Amino acid sequence: MATLQIREALRHAIDEEMARDERVFVIGEEVGHYDGAYKVTEGLLAKYGERRVVDTPIAEAGFAGVGIGAAMAGLRPIVEFMTFNFSAVAFDQILNNAAKLRQLSNGQFTLPIVFRGPNAAAHMLSSTHSQAFESFYCGFPGVKVVSVATPADAKGLLKSAIRDDNPIIFFESEVMYSVKGEVPDGEHLIPIGKAEIKRPGSGVTVVTWGQGLAIALAAAELAQAEGLSCEVIDLRTLRPLDDDAVVASVRKTNRCVLVYHGWPYGGTGAEVSDRVMRLCFDDLDAPILRVCYEDLNMPYAENLEHLVIPSPARALEAIREVAYRQH
């Protein structure tokens, strides 16, 4: 085991896959000479050179298209968006090319490409830099969507994503790059599409992903002090969803709370809620509750931002409510 930050775990994954397969390369803004905006790609330019660590202009649609073309030609690009907020500029490339070309070519092309970078709110970045893009990218077929919250998951899932023959949207978090955790030594792969129980429990199922994990775990700790046992499930992959893991937990606890960074209307949280309701209707003893952003654009002011994003206190209130333990 090694103790790594999430940024280091991601770097190890990229480094190992570049060493293993010469078709793998990195492209994006500041990935090379600046060593990455968040230092995920630090040292890779010196090791692999400018043919495989490619600095680009500020032109997301352009370098996303270059990556897609390279994937069609047999390479395995990793396209870094400095933030997924900037991926909106490349949405046509991702939506109408990366997600569809395998089908439109009747399988003549595969699209082994990873689009990765930080997603959702960070800290005081205001509305245009605080989008949670799950609802966009989970909303159409042809891509897989991954969201990581621990170093071990970051490394294992990124390695699997790089090896996958489908386009992968790989969400990270700006405020979590320095989070530390244990990462297994040697070849460490985690299958895409498998959730993980991060905290076992018996009273309330708390489903989460990405930045929501730390909030969910903190709320579960607070609930435990009140005699409420929470099982925290990190989805890790948002498309495809691991229905089996969530259903098994809800059938055990009979209650479900979702904790996540994202808006309430039409998002991934709504999709998970729908599936739990349909698949576990006879098992539920309380309504499914969601703890997420308030339904408005993210403010810049720190005190207002805290009112919009989810918190352990808000999650605890939801846990109490589904357990009929309101204070």
Catalytic residues: 60, 129
Alpha carbon separation from 161 to 67, 76, 114, 168, 171 (Å, rounded): 15, 10, 7, 6, 12
Strands 168-172 and 114-118: parallel
On whether the CB atoms of residues 206 and 230 are closer than 8 A, the answer is: yes
Residue 26 CA from chain centroid, whole number: 19
288 burial via Cβ count (<10 Å: 0-12, 13-18, 19+)? buried
Q: At 178, which helix (H) or strand (E)? A: none
SS (H, E, C) 158-169: HHHHHHCCCCEE
DSSP secondary structure string, 105-173? TTTS-----EEEEE-S--SS--GGG----HHHHTTSTT-EEEE--SHHHHHHHHHHHHH-SS-EEEEE-
> From CA 146, how far away is CA 172, in angstroms rounded?
9
> From CA 53, how far away is CA 155, in angstroms rounded?
19
> From CA 50, how far away is CA 139, in angstroms rounded?
35
Q: What are the backbone angles phi and psi of residue 119, rounded to the nearest 5°?
A: -125, 160
Q: What are the backbone angles phi and psi of residue 183, rounded to the nearest 5°?
A: -125, 125
